Structure 1
Amino acid sequence: MSRREQILAALSVVLAGQLAAPVRRNEVLPEKVPAAGLVILRDGEPGEPDITLNPRTEFYAHRVELEVYVPRDPSGGGEAALDQLLGAIGAALRVDETLGGLAENLTPSAAETGALALEGAPPMLTARIIVTIEYLVSDPLTA
């Protein structure tokens, strides 16, 4: 298994183990969100590496995306639930910032929030967090 896949799988496990909301990876946009919310991990983009020679090592700052969804209250609320879930995600990311030694560091961005209404589905509040995962590999095909 590549280092990239090991890191993404470990991040998914860490989040699933720490959050009350279900965590899914690369899922389609949900039509219905559980009461506890929903987090979708998108694999993202590893970007162009910084390369050192002798021995050849590639340093990636891989940007993954966390999409966060909570149901919007029929009376228009739900912001507190979204804020609570975002706080839980931040705490989960701080549990092990190296993912068991697979990564050098995890750096989350501030959340970009909004609201979403899909035809035939109840409205939901959303947030998008970019998590930059820094890691090293010796072979770009295993990145």
Structure 2
Amino acid sequence: MPTPRETILAALHARLSALPATVLRGDVLPERVPAEGLLILRDGEPGEPEVTLSPLAYHYQHRAEIEAVVQGSDRDGDFDALCASIGTALAGDRTLGGLCDWAEAEAPRPADLPVEGAASLKAAVIPVILHYTTADPLA
């Protein structure tokens, strides 16, 4: 039985997989970036929970990360469209099907990365804060 954390991350991955970009989870950056763009979901850090007693509950603000990468002649436009599609996907269901209390992305900080012998990449890490509660930090 997967933990609530894993269930929420899997739901976020599924939500991102509906986008036109190639979506991976926890993988390394491949040698080629698909024309439609690439998203890599990283599990991130659950952080230090707030704890309430009676009943015992751990309230997390888990910081997952999405690496967004595009390559090609219209990197700026493609990158902007890819980031906007992530925002639209999250806004469509902030609770990821009722699995978490709230999911919200933070603004990306894009960077152009040169590639020898090819068009440069435009990439950014997009933090996604997942608010959820569990009865046990390991469950």
With normalisation by structure 2, the TM-score equals 0.94
Q: Distance in 2 between matches of 1:78 and 1:110?
A: 18
Kindly indicate whether the alpha-carbon contact (under 8 Å) linking 1:32 and 1:122 is maintained by their aligned counterparts in 2: no
Aligned CA-pair RMSD: 1.2
1:121 positional shift:
5.5
Read off the aligned partner of 1:135 and give its amino acid letter.
Y
Tell me, what secondary structure is at the counterpart of 2:127? strand
1:128 positional shift:
1.4
Q: What is aligned with 2:5?
A: 4
Tell me, what secondary structure is at the counterpart of 2:30? coil
Q: Does 1:106 align with 2:103?
A: yes
Q: Does 1:53 align with 2:50?
A: no
Q: Distance in 2 between matches of 1:100 and 1:59?
A: 18
Q: Which has the higher contact order (CA 8 A, sep 6+)?
A: 1
Q: What is aligned with 1:117?
A: 114
Alignment of 1:1-143 (within 5 A): 1-17=2-18, 19-73=19-73, 77-119=74-116, 122-142=119-139
1:31 positional shift:
1.8
Tell me, what secondary structure is at the counterpart of 1:140? coil
Q: Distance in 2 between matches of 1:98 and 1:8?
A: 12
Change in 2 beyond 3 A, CA 1:30/1:121: farther
Read off the aligned partner of 2:114 and give its amino acid letter.
A
Most deviating of 64-73 and 117-126 = 117-126
How many residues are treated as equivalent by the alignment?
A: 138
Structure 2 unaligned runs (5+)? Answer: none
Q: Kindly, what percent of the aligned residue pairs are identical?
A: 46
Tell me, what secondary structure is at the counterpart of 2:51? strand
Structure 1 unaligned runs (5+)? Answer: none
Tell me, what secondary structure is at the counterpart of 1:133? strand
Query: For residues 96-116 of structure 1, what are the alpha-carbon distances to aligned partners after superposition, in whole Å with 9 as ceiling and x for unaligned?
Result: 100111100012101110112
